Every structure is written in structure tokens, then in C-alpha cells.
């Protein structure tokens, strides 16, 4: 018997006494598929009482071997129940089945080790040959200049250090290439093209000029009307943190690959994993079915966390590569979803990908996600973002939170949310549009969420996939409209400056409502302010885009028993503005400029002028942005003086126009009959629908930012806080009264 035969019998929990008995009985021990029958208990007792004799040897039949091999390919580690089923079906004893699988696993392991040994031996021979060549070259050095024998001399200390550093860098490059090979699926040469620096272009051109937009040939042009996202005119500069942390990069690669595999499967699967809504729109996750099909790649869910997971599919008028470029750049990503992301930064680039397709790019990012309500805490997440091109015209971008055990930083930095594999699968449909399948899957601490907003989040309408997709579709429609329209009385450059100013206004409104970390807010607690009203203050000293002094922000959310469409139409109607806006001075407003930003009439940026009581107010205009889609609606406005707007509309710099925004955010609402997804009558699982009977109202967020003192060092008075609180209460009462009458 050779050594390999003995090794083939050794497996997990193998009985060593069995090997000894087989040797004593003289049975041939094999590691191939032709296995043996185990001696029965009677035979073993007889062997103990009488002289030993050779036991009868039984080979497995070809059918038994075929059945075992087929089952082994599917499940190399069968449990007790599966082994008993095989024993019954093949007419073998349970121990025979158990030992056959042990031997088969050991055999496979031995074969793999033998294969690895052959590869290592070849590598060793190759290194030995290279070493011999280097020794020979060192013994007979040749001068590169003259071709004759070189006379070696002493090298300087600096040259010696440079050689050491060069050797270290080569070793690091080789290690990175080997790591990258793990998920590239093809060899990567360490002498390939240089890696492009991260963030070469901060403008979100969305492939216009480079890849084409919507089938239009705009080579050499940039996006019009303020949609060069990330140029610094709207977004505050968010510098990536210096990467002083040490990550286990190989572990991150494994997590990224697992997350990508899960995202693709979840995007492709339907019922029973996904439960369709009543109208066939947004799909919600069947949590029990998910647990049966997937295992968490970031550890166990905290006991106090709730789960939300949704899927949505739709078409957008944007090429896939353009969307990939936007998602893989933090600034572009924020400006594409300004009402959903308050800030984002790339912490580390583990792999910069290949070519312009961003294929296999792997990043570590920080982000703050928000719902436009002061009653929902901002979600702070640190996660891995991985992009993979699966075929021509098909990409997938997946996010997954970093397991706290893998993060060398403070694990309590982001304590309120975990992002499970989430992202989108992008497929080019034609030269004009692409199909997007978006999956959002998170676990969050719902104890800090106000009870009024808990149904919104648990149903998936707060941070769900349909909100991401609806926002993306609206932004793409906006770009197509802005590229085609021509507005009399305003130049294209002036229109672009006006759009940029409106973007900055909307972004600052969202930051004030949600209290993101972009601005340093101080929360106030005043006795006369309602518990659902959040009042904050900050001081502006250097920002030219806001008035200098003490800024007071107040916001709250209330339930409105009217539809989103009716409330939105009422708030944006300049003829009804005097019903609720004190800036209208009780008179009608007139729209002076209208820049459409979408297919609906309400998606626009406009310039309003109202009736003035005195000469000073003749110099004031109202800049307003409004939009509405399936995820909600927004009405944001700010007073601006005529001279500043004149500069902006003549292609002036909008960054120096000082404004403080106020306005309204309308969110889908869940009526009191919705109890965590269970109906009152029979407790059956139901999902709220925008156009169904369960949703019978909406949530209105009201936010004001007011300059209470133009001296930054001034102290805030209680009277100022009470004034803003009364303004919010009075505005809400006027809106309710007007909607009751109309």
C-alpha cells in the first residue's frame, strides 16, 4: 500500500481504529471512487474471538459511484439527513456513505495540494534560473555606454537608499497586482499603464462630449445650464480624509465580490423574494425568503435595528457609462441626488479600475443620507463601493457597509445605520437610454425616528429604491429639457447662472432642514417652542453666498390630509401665495422668468415679483425652484435683490449672491390605517401605495432660515426664537385653512 492510499482515508472525524482494523484484515484501502464496504459488527466480533481472516471485499457498483459523485458536486458536506437518504437510495450503510465523502474530500484536497506543489516547483525553478542569470551578469558587468567591461565602483548612500526604496515599491506593486487578479478574472501586469489619479475631472459632464448624451453628438461641449456638477459653485468643498487607517484590503475585495454577487441575484429574482405593491410599482423584500437565500457579509444585525429593503426598475434617458462615472465620483454623486445625500467623500481608492469604464474600481466612502424632515436623523454610513462591467453595455455598482471589525477607526463613528448590498444594475437599451434596476437594503436604528415618520421609513418610501430612481429620472429629464429650450429675454449663459444659484439655494435649504454636517449648527432648546419643531443657529462670517451674521433655522413636519398633487399645486401657485406667504404683502405674485426643468409645468426655476408697500421692497424679487415626482415634491424660495439677479442673468458669478432659503418639502404619507404593514382587519401584510386607498394624505415639512442679527458675534435672543416659531405655526395654520376652504 502506498502513502497516497493511506492519506486518502483520513478525513474529518474519521475513525482511526477503522484504518487499523482494515490493515489487520488485509483489505485494500483505496482513495479513488471504487470504495469498500465496512465490516459488519458480527464480523468484527468474530475477528476478536477467532483467528483473523481476510474479509470479503465489495466494490461499489458504477451506479452507486455515479450517484455519490453527482451528489458530491452539489453538496460535498452532507448532513445526517442527507446521508440517510443516500444510504436508503443506494443500499449502503450510513457509515459507508460518511466515510466515502470523507475520503472524497481528502482526495480532492490532496489533488489540489499536488497541483499547487507543481506550480510552486515551476516558480522555484524559474526563480533559480533568474538568480543564476543575475549572478552571471554581476560577475561580468558590461558598460552601457561603451559596451566594454564595466569597472564596479562604490555607490553613494543616497543611491543605496533609492535602490532599497525601488525594491520596496516593486514588491508592493507585485502584491497589489496579485490582489487585483483575484477579482479581475485575468492577469494584470505590474508593468501596465499608469493608474490615473483619482478625481482628474470634478465636472459631471455625464459623458457629454466624451460618450454622447441621449444619442446627441455634442463633442467638445459641456453640460448646459449649471449642470456641470462638482465645479465648486454650488457644493461646498468636501476634502477626503487623509488615509491614515490600515485596512485589510484582501478582506475588502472578498466582501465586495460577495456584495456584487448578492446584488445581481437580488436584481434578477422576483417572487417570492420580492413582494410587489398593490399597483405593481415598488417591490418590498420578503425578509424570511432573503434569510433562506443569503447570508450576511457584514456580520449579524443589531437586535435594536429595523430592516428596510425595496427594488424598483425603470428607464432613464442617460447612457450607462455616463451614470457609472457619476456614481463613482463623490461630488457628482451628491449633486445628482442633492435632496437625498447631504455630503459624501472618498476616503480611500483601493483599486482605480481599468480604462474609462471604471471596471473593477473599488473605493471606501463616507456619506450622509437624508429625508427632508427634522424628525428623521441623518444616516451616516461608511461603506465600500465597487463597480463592475459584466458585459458590453451592462454595469453594476454596489455599496456595502464596512464591518466594524474590519475598520481600524472608531467603530462608533457611524452608529445608526448599516448598508447591506445595495446599488443598481445598469443596462444600455439603445443610444439614448438605459434600463436601471435599483436595490436598496438597509438596517437602521428606528428608536430615534419620530412616530409620525416611522411608517414612511418602514414602508420603504423614505430611503427606498423608488426614490433614488425617481430622482435620477427627473434629473435626466431636466438635462434634456435644458439642452433644448430657448427662453426669450435671457441668454443661455444667464440661464446657466440662474440654475446654479437655484441649485445652491435648494442645497442650503436641505442642509438647514436635516442639520447635516456641512454647516455647524447649534441646537436650541426653548420652552415656548413645540417639541416637534427643531430650532438651530449658526454664525456666518466668511461665506459670501449668505448674509453675514447670526442665522436662525427652524423646521418641523406635520400630517396633511390632502394629496401631494393638491398641496404642491397650491404652494407653487403665485396667485394663491398671499394666502400663506408674508413676503407677498397680501397681494398677488407675478412670474417674470420661467425656466422649465422637467416635463411637468411645476418642475421649474422661476423669478417672482410681488406688489410692494414701500419703495425699498420694489428692489426685491423671489427666486423659486419647484419640482414634483413619485418620491415627493419641493418648493424652495429666497428673496434676492434686483441688482444681484441682473448680474446673474447677464452671466455674472452667482456664488456672490447672498440668500437664505425657506420652503416646503412634501413627502408621501401613510394614513393612520397603516400599522407597520398590517391591516387592521385581518393582520395581512399590505404595502402602502401612492395612488391607493392606504395613502390618503402627505407629510409637509416647513423650514425657514432667517438672519436675526447682522453681527456674527451677537447673542441670540429668546424673542427671535419665538418669532420664528410663530412664523412656522402661522404658516401651517394658513395653509390648512386655505386648503379647507378651496
Residues 384-409 have a mean pLDDT of 83
pLDDT band per the 50, 70, 90 thresholds, residue 690: very low
Q: For the residues of 650-716, what is the DSSP string, one character each?
A: TT--GGG-----EEEEEEE---TT-BTTB-TTT--B----TTSSS---EEEEEEEEEEEES-TTPPP
Alpha-carbon distances of 138 from 16, 134, 168, rounded to whole Å: 56, 6, 21
What pTM, to 2 d.p., does this model score?
0.66
Ranking 9-23, 308-322, 409-423 by mean pLDDT, the lowest is 9-23
- List, in order of start, the domains of the chain with CATH numbers: 65-117 (1.10.10.60), 249-404+417-483 (3.30.530.20), 492-672+695-739 (3.30.530.20)
| Cα–Cα dist 368/345, whole Å | 10
Q: Which pLDDT score is estimated for 589?
A: 83
pLDDT band per the 50, 70, 90 thresholds, residue 152: low
Q: What are phi and psi of 348, to 5 degrees?
A: -155, 145
pLDDT higher than threshold 90 for residue 468:
yes
Q: Strand (E) positions, 44-93?
A: none
CB count in 10 Å sphere of residue 740: 9
Q: Which pLDDT score is estimated for 210?
A: 30
| Cα–Cα dist 742/739, whole Å | 5
What is the distance of C-alpha 655 from the center of its chain?
30
Give the count of alpha carbons within 13 A of 353, CB side only.
22
Identify any residues that bridge with 699 across adjacent strands, giving them in sequence order. 559, 667
**Contact status, residue 372 vs residue 397, Cβ threshold 8 Å:** no
Mean predicted lDDT score pLDDT of the chain: 75
Q: What are phi and psi of 93, to 5 degrees?
A: -75, 155
What value does the CA radius of gyration of the chain take, rounded to a whole number of Å?
34
Question: Over the stretch 181-223, which tens digit does the pLDDT of each residue have?
Answer: 654 554 554 444 433 333 333 332 322 333 333 333 333 333 3
Question: Over the stretch 727-736, which tens digit does the pLDDT of each residue have?
Answer: 899 999 999 9
CB count in 10 Å sphere of residue 49: 6
CB count in 10 Å sphere of residue 432: 16
Alpha-carbon distances of 140 from 131, 151, 163, rounded to whole Å: 14, 10, 21
Ranking 34-48, 291-305, 639-653, 691-705 by mean pLDDT, the lowest is 34-48
Q: Which pLDDT score is estimated for 384?
A: 93
Identify any residues that bridge with 473 across adjacent strands, giving them in sequence order. none
| Best-predicted range by mean pLDDT (67-71, 128-132, 407-411, 735-739) | 735-739
DSSP 8-state code for residue 413: S
Residue 597's contacts (CB-CB under 8 Å, 6 or more residues apart) are 478, 481, 482, 499, 603, 604, 605, 625, 627
pLDDT above 90 coverage of the chain, percent: 24
Alpha-carbon distances of 696 from 30, 449, 466, 676, rounded to whole Å: 73, 21, 19, 16
DSSP 8-state code for residue 616: G
422-428 and 589-596 as β-strands: parallel, antiparallel, unpaired? unpaired
pLDDT higher than threshold 60 for residue 498:
yes
- Angle at alpha carbon of residue 560, lines to 558 and 566, rounded to 5°: 135
Q: All 3 cell numbers of residue 119?
A: 506550480
394-401 and 359-369 as β-strands: parallel, antiparallel, unpaired? unpaired
Ranking 13-17, 306-310, 709-713 by mean pLDDT, the lowest is 13-17
| Cα–Cα dist 742/736, whole Å | 10
Q: How many residues does the chain have?
A: 742
Cis peptide before 394 (omega within 30 of 0): no
**Contact status, residue 150 vs residue 142, Cβ threshold 8 Å:** yes
Helix (H) or strand (E) holding 467: helix 465-484
**Contact status, residue 550 vs residue 708, Cβ threshold 8 Å:** yes
Greater confidence, 85 or 141?
Answer: 85
Ranking 12-26, 109-123, 627-641 by mean pLDDT, the lowest is 12-26
> 416: exposed, middle or buried (C-beta count within 10 Å: 0-12, 13-18, 19+)?
middle
417-419 and 434-445 as β-strands: parallel, antiparallel, unpaired? antiparallel
**Contact status, residue 490 vs residue 651, Cβ threshold 8 Å:** no
Q: Which pLDDT score is estimated for 178?
A: 65
Identify any residues that bridge with 591 across adjacent strands, giving them in sequence order. 608
| Cα–Cα dist 472/2, whole Å | 67
Q: Which pLDDT score is estimated for 324?
A: 92
Q: For the residues of 230-251, what is the DSSP string, one character each?
A: TSSSSSPP-PPPP------HHH
In three-state secondary structure terms, 397 is: strand
**Contact status, residue 640 vs residue 625, Cβ threshold 8 Å:** no
549-560 and 620-629 as β-strands: parallel, antiparallel, unpaired? unpaired
Number of alpha helices (DSSP H) and beta strands (DSSP E) in the chain: 17, 19
Residues 536-549 have a mean pLDDT of 85
Closest by Cα among 607, 594, 590, 600 to 569: 600
Give the count of alpha carbons within 13 A of 313, CB side only.
14
| Best-predicted range by mean pLDDT (100-104, 161-165, 225-229, 409-413) | 100-104
Q: Strand (E) positions, 317-378?
A: 341-354, 359-369
**Contact status, residue 5 vs residue 30, Cβ threshold 8 Å:** yes
pLDDT band per the 50, 70, 90 thresholds, residue 58: low
Amino acid at each position: 500500500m502506498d502513502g497516497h492510499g493511506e492519506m486518502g482515508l483520513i478525513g474529518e472525524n474519521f475513525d482511526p481504529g477503522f484504518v487499523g482494523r482494515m490493515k489487520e484484515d488485509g483489505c485494500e484501502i483505496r482513495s479513488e471512487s471504487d470504495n469498500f464496504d465496512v465490516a459488519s459488527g458480527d464480523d468484527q466480533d468474530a475477528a476478536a474471538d477467532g483467528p483473523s481472516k481476510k474479509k470479503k471485499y465489495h466494490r461499489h457498483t458504477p451506479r452507486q459511484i455515479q450517484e455519490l459523485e453527482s451528489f458530491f458536486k452539489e453538496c460535498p458536506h452532507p448532513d445526517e439527513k442527507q446521508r440517510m437518504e443516500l444510504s436508503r437510495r443506494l443500499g449502503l450503510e450510513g457509515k459507508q456513505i460518511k466515510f466515502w465523502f470523507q475520503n472524497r474530500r481528502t482526495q480532492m484536497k490532496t489533488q489540489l495540494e499536488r497541483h499547487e506543489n507543481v506550480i510552486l516547483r515551476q516558480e522555484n525553478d524559474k526563480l533559480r534560473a533568474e538568480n543564476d542569470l543575475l549572478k552571471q551578469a554581476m560577475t561580468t558587468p558590461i558598460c552601457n555606454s561603451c559596451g566594454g567591461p564595466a569597472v564596479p565602483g562604490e555607490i553613494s548612500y543616497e543611491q543605496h537608499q533609492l535602490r532599497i526604496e525601488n525594491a520596496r515599491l516593486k514588491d508592493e506593486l507585485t502584491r497589489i497586482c496579485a490582489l487585483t487578479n483575484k477579482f479581475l478574472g485575468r492577469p494584470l501586469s505590474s508593468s501596465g499603464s499608469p493608474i490615473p489619479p483619482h478625481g482628474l475631472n470634478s465636472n459631471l459632464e455625464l459623458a457629454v462630449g466624451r460618450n454622447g448624451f441621449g444619442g446627441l453628438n455634442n463633442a467638445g461641449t459641456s453640460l448646459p445650464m449649471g449642470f456641470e456638477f462638482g465645479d465648486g459653485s454650488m457644493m461646498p468643498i468636501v476634502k477626503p480624509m487623509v488615509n491614515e487607517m490600515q485596512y485589510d484590503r484582501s478582506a475588502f475585495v472578498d466582501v465586495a465580490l460577495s456584495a456584487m454577487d448578492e446584488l445581481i441575484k437580488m436584481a434578477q429574482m422576483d417572487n417570492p423574494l420580492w413582494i410587489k405593491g398593490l399597483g405593481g410599482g415598488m417591490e418590498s423584500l420578503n425578509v424570511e425568503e432573503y434569510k433562506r437565500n443569503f447570508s450576511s457579509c457584514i456580520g449579524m444585525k443589531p437586535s435594536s435595528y429595523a430592516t428596510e429593503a425595496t427594488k424598483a426598475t425603470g428607464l432613464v434617458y442617460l447612457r450607462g457609462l455616463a451614470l457609472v462615472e457619476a456614481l463613482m465620483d463623490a461630488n457628482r454623486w451628491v449633486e445628482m441626488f442633492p435632496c437625498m445625500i447631504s455630503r459624501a467623500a472618498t476616503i480611500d481608492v483601493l483599486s482605480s479600475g481599468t480604462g474609462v469604464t471604471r471596471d473593477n474600481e473599488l473605493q471606501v466612502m463616507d456619506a450622509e443620507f437624508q429625508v427632508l424632515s427634522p424628525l428623521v436623523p441623518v444616516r451616516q454610513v461608511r461603506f465600500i463601493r465597487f463597480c463592475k462591467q459584466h458585459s458590453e453595455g451592462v454595469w453594476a455598482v454596489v455599496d456595502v457597509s464596512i464591518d466594524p471589525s474590519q475598520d481600524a477607526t472608531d467603530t462608533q463613528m457611524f452608529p445608526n445605520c448599516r448598508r447591506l448590498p445595495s446599488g443598481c444594475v445598469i443596462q444600455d437599451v439603445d443610444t439614448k437610454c438605459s434600463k436601471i434596476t435599483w436595490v436598496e437594503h438597509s438596517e437602521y436604528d428606528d428608536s430615534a425616528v419620530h412616530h409620525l415618520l416611522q411608517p414612511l421609513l418602514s414602508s420603504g418610501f423614505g430611503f427606498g429604491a423608488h426614490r433614488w430612481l425617481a430622482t435620477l429620472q427627473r434629473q435626466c429629464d431636466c438635462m434634456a429639457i435644458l439642452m433644448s429650450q430657448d427662453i426669450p429675454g435671457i441668454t443661455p449663459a444667464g440661464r446657466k447662472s440662474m440654475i446654479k444659484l437655484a441649485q445652491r439655494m435648494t442645497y442650503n435649504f436641505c442642509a438647514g432642514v436635516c442639520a447635516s454636517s456641512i454647516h455647524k449648527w447649534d441646537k436650541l432648546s426653548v420652552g415656548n417652542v413645540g417639541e416637534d419643531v427643531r430650532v438651530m443657529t449658526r454664525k456666518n462670517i466668511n461665506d459670501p453666498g449668505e448674509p453675514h451674521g447670526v442665522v436662525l433655522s427652524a423646521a418641523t413636519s406635520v400630517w396633511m390630509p390632502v394629496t401631494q398633487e393638491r398641496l404642491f399645486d397650491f404652494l407653487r401657485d403665485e396667485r394663491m401665495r398671499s394666502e400663506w406667504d408674508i413676503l407677498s404683502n397680501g397681494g398677488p405674485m407675478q412670474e417674470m422668468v420661467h425656466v422649465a426643468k422637467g416635463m411637468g409645468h411645476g418642475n421649474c426655476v422661476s423669478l417672482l415679483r410681488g406688489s410692494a408697500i414701500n419703495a425699498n421692497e420694489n428692489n426685491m424679487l423671489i427666486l423659486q425652484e419647484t419640482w414634483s415626482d413619485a418620491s415627493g415634491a419641493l418648493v424652495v424660495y429666497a428673496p434676492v435683490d434686483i441688482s444681484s439677479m441682473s448680474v446673474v442673468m447677464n452671466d455674472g458669478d452667482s456664488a456672490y449672491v447672498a440668500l437664505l432659503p425657506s420652503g416646503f418639502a412634501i413627502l408621501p404619507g401613510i394614513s393612520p390605517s397603516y400599522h407597520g404593514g398590517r391591516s387592521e382587519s385581518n393582520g395581512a401584510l399590505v404595502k402602502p401605495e401612492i395612488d391607493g386607498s392606504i395613502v390618503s394624505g402627505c407629510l409637509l415639512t416647513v423650514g425657514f432660515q432667517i438672519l436675526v442679527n447682522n453681527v456674527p458675534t451677537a447673542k441670540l435672543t429668546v424673542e427671535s426664537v419665538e418669532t420664528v416659531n410663530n412664523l412656522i405655526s402661522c404658516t401651517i395654520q394658513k395653509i390648512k385653512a386655505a386648503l379647507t376652504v378651496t
